[in-house]
Chains A and B, each alone.
Chain A
Amino acid sequence: MSYPTTISGWGRFPVTKTRESRIRSAGDARAALDKPGNVLARGLGRSYGDASLSPAILSTLSLNRMLAFNEKTGLLRCEAGVSLDEILDVFVPRGWFLPVTPGTRFVTIGGAIASDVHGKNHHVSGSFCDHVSSLKLMTADGRVKSCSPRKNTALFRATCGGNGLTGIILEASVRLIPVETAFIRQTAIKAANLDELTAQFTIHKAATYSVAWIDCLAKGDVMGRGILFAGEHAEMNEVKTKNPLILKPDRMIPVPFSFPAFTLNPLTVRLFNNSYFNLAARKPGPSLVNYRSFFYPLDKVANWNRIYGSRGFVQYQFVLPESAGVEGLKRILKKIVVAGTGSFLAVLKQFGKGNANILSFPMAGWTLALDFPAKPAVFQLLSKLDAEISEMGGRIYLTKDSRMSAETFRKGYGEKLNAFMKTKGETDPDNRFASLQSKRLEITP
């Protein structure tokens, strides 16, 4: 039971034809596995590159039931296709929030686990899978295995951050965190250059949430000028609305068509950045913002990925180990700024310690995320950056990648990769689960 369709990641590059079937139950998933060939489970397709692309995909969007919720502990058991958006809609009004959230709420639980996503609280809360107490995975033989940090540990560690390559995630139990309001007390701090900005992270290291935006057009002495946003969940007495847990529905701004390729040119970007930075600088001190504007500013613009035009874009996120220091970060940023190939904003964050999940991206150090239009000059630049990042012991985030080489991947993930390949070989000897990315990175043949 499947139909042909054309899919891409959120970056709209690359694009591929596939056959999609929808799974509504474990039985459907098993039936899909009975047919030969590569398959991959897929949720909302918000990974940017080719991590969720495969010749046959199993959409989990109809596998989206909430199965149990413990009002005392906040433990939610649900099927893999439930989105973070749905969880927020249901549970914020009852005083619960996601333990970790990426920059979009339009990802499924299955996707959040497969990418082991991180958020602005990585330095205190780790990544998403650190809050997953157990999950159910259908492996290539059609059996459903219950996995947790204690049970089927190797499979759990390979599945968290494993991009769907170990099987089909059917269900998971996630621990939500209690909140008093739907608001965040945000402090925005302007910094004139990279040294100042990184110093601000140190000053605000106790903040629950912290992230910075860097103006990539600023060069020389002001390179790395940016704004650090620090945030805390606001308490009840800070919020004046009648019910501090309820937000008005978001009005979405549509981008109805792909912008022409010249829309984002150095001039328009410069105008945007200057006005943005001046705006943020005008209101110093803390302010109350609702959780949607704090965590998901881009979700307000439906299909914002279309502003890069029909050729699509690539996201590039790397992390450098602490040993590389701010100097290492400066080296890479300088190359990006000098090349001037497009990314007008970069997102900077200081990660805390990584976890035991094998292909999980975060490790202690600086991480920077940028986007670029998908064009040859950009690919050349990124290959050069890959080499420097590998040399410093850093790595690239698989969920955003569409172009790194197998070599860069192997260097970045190092010996951990052997552990992944071992589990993959044991549970999926025929490499049923594969993506365009896993082939490119030579994880699967």
Chain B
Amino acid sequence: MKWLLILGATSDIAKACAHRFAAEGFSLVLAARKPDELDRDVKDLQIRYDIDVKTVPFDVLDMEQHREFFQSLNPMPDGVLCAIGTMAENEAAISDPKKLKPIIDTNFTGPAAILTLAAEAFRKRGSGFIIGISSVAGNRGRGTNYPYGSAKAGFTAFLSGLRNRLNQSNVRVITILPGFVRTKMTEDMDLPAKLTAEPDKVAADIFKGWKKGTSVIYTKGIWWLIMLVIQHIPEFIFKRMKL
């Protein structure tokens, strides 16, 4: 039996991924701050796919506990998917360092810490995969959301480095770069329909990339091109733009 650990399992993208991997026969360990919020999802996954599903409490900001958390997983998962992220207080953080810290820790420091433990364990075992959901917001800092963007930039670089380091071992690292996704996190934003993906689409892209062995996956795919353009705008122009 193959086990997938999903960190941040209450997020919409995580839930969509849970379905996609469960359909492929994976059993699931769903980790979240409040695991009882997942009771209905657990029943749903069990009924639909006839798989084993467990929930475990996990707080990404409580980094002291990460090692104990990971060691307590039995069996050790075959792979881990990290869907943790927040845009809460993103605007307030632009002028308030106290609000900046939880954004950086939730989107970058915490995920990097737990994935470091997973990577070490997988490397020693000689197998495993790590899927990290970052964001195109990390590809270039924008005046309106750079607290979130800079944390995601850190996370993207972390995943890239991890992939490079583990290249010789049998551990795969996959970076997911979603553009706009219609989720709880973006519920109040007026997103352009053509560029906005549903969580199911993101999960399908993740799964397809995982099967194929892709390293970096943009979803929707068009974001690859958009970010290519945005990243190549000269800074003296970019700094004047309103994005």
The residues of A with any CB-CB pair to B shorter than 8 Å are 1-5, 21-22, 24, 62, 64-69, 79, 86, 90
Name B12's closest neighbour in chain A (CB-CB).
Answer: A62
The residues of B with any CB-CB pair to A shorter than 8 Å are 12, 40-41, 43-44, 47-48, 184, 187-191, 193
Do A65 and B188 form a contact, CB below 8 Å, given A90-B47, A90-B48? no
Name B47's closest neighbour in chain A (CB-CB).
Answer: A66
Name A65's closest neighbour in chain B (CB-CB).
Answer: B44
A3 touches B191 (CB 8 A): yes
Extra contacts besides A2-B187, A65-B43, A68-B43 (9): CB < 8 Å: A1-B184, A1-B187, A3-B188, A5-B193, A65-B40, A66-B44, A66-B47, A66-B48, A69-B47
A1 to B183 alpha-carbon distance, docked (Å): 11
Q: Which B residues are CB-close (under 8 A) to A24?
A: 184
A67 touches B12 (CB 8 A): no
Q: Which A residues are CB-close (under 8 A) to B193?
A: 5
A142 to B224 alpha-carbon distance, docked (Å): 44
Name A61's closest neighbour in chain B (CB-CB).
Answer: B198
Q: Which A residues are CB-close (under 8 A) to B43?
A: 65-68
Name B49's closest neighbour in chain A (CB-CB).
Answer: A90
A196 to B160 alpha-carbon distance, docked (Å): 72
Q: Which A residues are CB-close (under 8 A) to B190?
A: 3-4
> 12 A-B contacts, Cβ less than 8 Å apart?
A1-B184, A3-B188, A22-B187, A62-B12, A65-B40, A65-B41, A66-B44, A66-B47, A67-B47, A68-B43, A79-B40, A90-B48
A69 to B119 alpha-carbon distance, docked (Å): 39
Q: Which of B48, B189, B193 has the most CB of A within 10 A?
A: B48
Q: Which B residues are CB-close (under 8 A) to A68?
A: 43, 47
CB distance from B146 to the nearest CB of A (A): 23
Instruction: From A4, A5, A21, A67, give the contact of B44 (CB < 8 A).
Output: A67
CB distance from B93 to the nearest CB of A (A): 20
B189 touches A3 (CB 8 A): yes
Q: Which B residues are CB-close (under 8 A) to A90?
A: 47-48
Name A22's closest neighbour in chain B (CB-CB).
Answer: B187
B188 touches A1 (CB 8 A): yes
CB distance from B56 to the nearest CB of A (A): 20
Q: Which B residues are CB-close (under 8 A) to A1?
A: 184, 187-188
Q: Which B residues are CB-close (under 8 A) to A3?
A: 187-191
A65 to B37 alpha-carbon distance, docked (Å): 13
CB distance from B200 to the nearest CB of A (A): 10
A337 to B131 alpha-carbon distance, docked (Å): 60
Name B23's closest neighbour in chain A (CB-CB).
Answer: A89
Q: Which A residues are CB-close (under 8 A) to B12?
A: 62
Q: Which of A21, A67, A68, A86 has the most CB of B within 10 A?
A: A67
